Structure 1
């Protein structure tokens, strides 16, 4: 069994665990009459199924690190923070989420880049070095796009996802950038080993 297969099996186990937690949570919240929390449990399951469906539909196999970081992000943001209402109990949970989003986006950038390179191979191009830079800048750019989205939604619908603060916005972008740098360093060392 290859190391990639082992990592993917771990990811399968994590995904299964998330399904089990959602089913148990749905039952507990249903007994308590908490419809909103039941909806959140269903939403997590739908998100996991959509991710799996997208992978099957596009006939793609996500790298183990990307899939793991996505599953961790779903567990952290949708389950721990929202369904179990831990924003008030875990300090800086929002910043941790933005840090992890930087990691995910860097992995997504590298994944997109590697797919593009496979379809347009050119000899002599240092694919992995260029790919690492692409993934880094892709993730940083997407962190900025996300903050633009939050700003727009806050102003259009009177929400407060940015806490009405430039400091919150900048710290979110900084966390996303740090996450992207961490992922880029991980990718660099991974490619160096190969």
Structure 2
């Protein structure tokens, strides 16, 4: 315990905030699981509650195979879990939050998912894509040398980020459909005519992603 406290004190403020949010999410999953066994009629989403306990620590599991992410991205992931998983699914805000006479929380979550996907795309771009070599002269008191850095065009970055956002939005729709079918959730308006809800979700995510792609496109 003392070792954990010392490590916690040495971390940055963002890392501390992320850790606190992660444990709060896991605790909410544990609390809701207990409430399920007390009142299974009201708290009937046991699979969702159990998943809520595990999801916050996915970045830590990924880090075990040397796929590290930035603190900002982990914090964005944890924050999105609160919005989408805890509030949206576990507490059923997808169905119960009514704005302007209709359930609107789904569109809010999808817009924010576009923002999160844009940050994730930027992280992938910075860490995986090599870009082009750009020589920069480094001058010191004794010598002058050329230092090569990796650089990509802002147009390519914008295209990659926006494409990634729409890919994640489509994948998320597949997850929503699967969850509703298997766990009896309300993430999709399955009774809505046509594909209006699905397309609205993808467009909402796209809008959020496109806006933030303008700010994230530069190296």
State the TM-score, normalized to the length of structure 2. Answer: 0.67
Residue 53 of structure 1, CA deviation: 0.7
Q: Which residue of 2 aligns with 1:138?
A: 164
Change (3 A) 1:53 1:153: closer
Contact persistence 2:111–2:204 (CA under 8 A): yes
Q: Which residue of 2 aligns with 1:110?
A: 122
Flag the structure with larger Rg. Answer: 2
Aligned with 1:74: secondary structure?
Answer: helix
Unaligned residue ranges in structure 1 (runs of 5+): none
Q: Which residue of 1 aligns with 2:204?
A: 175
Post-superposition Cα deviations, 1:49-76, rounded to whole Å, max 9, x if no partner, equal 3332113323402341x22332222222
Change (3 A) 1:21 1:145: closer
Contact persistence 1:11–1:67 (CA under 8 A): yes
Q: RMSD across aligned C-alpha pairs, in angstroms?
A: 3.3
2:58 to 46, 50, 53: 50
Cα distance in 1 between the residues matched to 2:176 and 2:89? 20
Post-superposition Cα deviations, 1:66-88, rounded to whole Å, max 9, x if no partner, equal 22332222222221122112223
Contact persistence 2:132–2:152 (CA under 8 A): no
Residue 139 of structure 1, CA deviation: 0.8
Contact persistence 1:110–1:132 (CA under 8 A): no
**Structure showing the higher strand proportion among its residues:** 2
| Structure 1 residue 61 corresponds to structure 2 residue 80 | no
Cα distance in 1 between the residues matched to 2:198 and 2:49? 28
**Structure showing the higher helix proportion among its residues:** 1
Aligned with 2:12: secondary structure?
Answer: helix
1:127 to 152, 156, 159: 152
State the TM-score, normalized to the length of structure 1. Answer: 0.75
1:142-181 mapped onto 2 (5 Å cutoff): 142-147=168-173, 149=174, 161=188, 162=190, 163-181=192-210
Cα distance in 1 between the residues matched to 2:86 and 2:59? 16
Change (3 A) 1:19 1:176: same
Residue 93 of structure 1, CA deviation: 0.9
